[in-house]
Amino acid sequence: MFTWWRRFHTPFKLKPQHLSKIRSELLQRIEFGEFECDPLWQQAYLEDKIFEVKAQEIEEKYIRSTRDTINDRLQYERKKLHKRKSTMQEKHLEAENRLLMQLADALATEFDFTREYVQEVMETFDGTTRHLYFYMMALKHDRKLPDAEDVQMIPRIIEAQPRHIMKQSEGKWFDLWKQTVVEKKIW
């Protein structure tokens, strides 16, 4: 699929050959980060920074041109910015909704709950996706509900995948991305 609007690689899915046979497939997928929100919304912040750089370049390049010429160039760049950002945000919301539905279905299947019950729990739950998994497990087996510290004490089966891996062709914006991460406190 052609994704002209992406400057970063899409999150990966865990391949079946990398799954452990002795642990829950769903837990492994959760720990790997398959059900974490697509980071497109955060990556859209970079687009504003890129526009600022391009606007500065236009101001410098067309310094001897009329203000109308400069404004035309800026308007063209602004249209590109808004098109890319709106596409990124739209795709983010679609992916987030799809992931929440998939997670609710997977948890319902794993623990023999109804999808509606799982969605109710998800709406009021305040914690990570991994914590939600162990919370649902405790509900299923009628055990004490774990808090965040309890869940952190449970060893991870698999490490989470890295986020925000910039495409090599977009490497010229890497320093600008680092600056955006610090300013927006992305992680």
DSSP 169: G
Q: What is the pLDDT of residue 1?
A: 59
What residues does each domain of the chain span?
Answer: 36-98
* CA separation for the pair 60, 74 (Å, rounded): 12
C-alpha span between 140 and 110 (Å, rounded): 10
By the 8 A CB rule, do 181 and 187 touch? yes
For residue 167, report the phi and psi dihedrals to the nearest 5 degrees.
-65, 145
CB of 47 within 8 A of CB of 84?
yes
Q: What is the pLDDT of residues 13-44, one digit of tens each?
A: 999 999 998 899 999 999 999 999 889 999 99
Quick one: pLDDT at residue 56?
97
What is the model's pLDDT at position 183? 95
Q: At what angle do helices 25-32 and 129-140 cross, to 10 degrees?
A: 160
**Structure confidence at residue 2 (pLDDT):** 67
Assign 3-state DSSP to the chain and report helix, strand, coil percentages, each to 5.
65, 0, 35
Q: What is the pLDDT of residue 12?
A: 87
Tens-digit pLDDT string for the chain (187 aa): 568 889 999 888 999 999 998 899 999 999 999 999 889 999 999 999 999 999 999 999 998 999 999 999 999 999 999 999 999 999 999 999 999 999 999 999 999 999 999 999 999 999 999 999 999 999 999 999 999 999 999 999 999 999 899 999 999 999 999 999 999 998 7
Please tell me the distance from the alpha carbon of residue 115 to that of residue 156, in angstroms, as a whole number. 26
Q: What is the pTM of this model?
A: 0.87
Residue 8: predicted pLDDT: 94
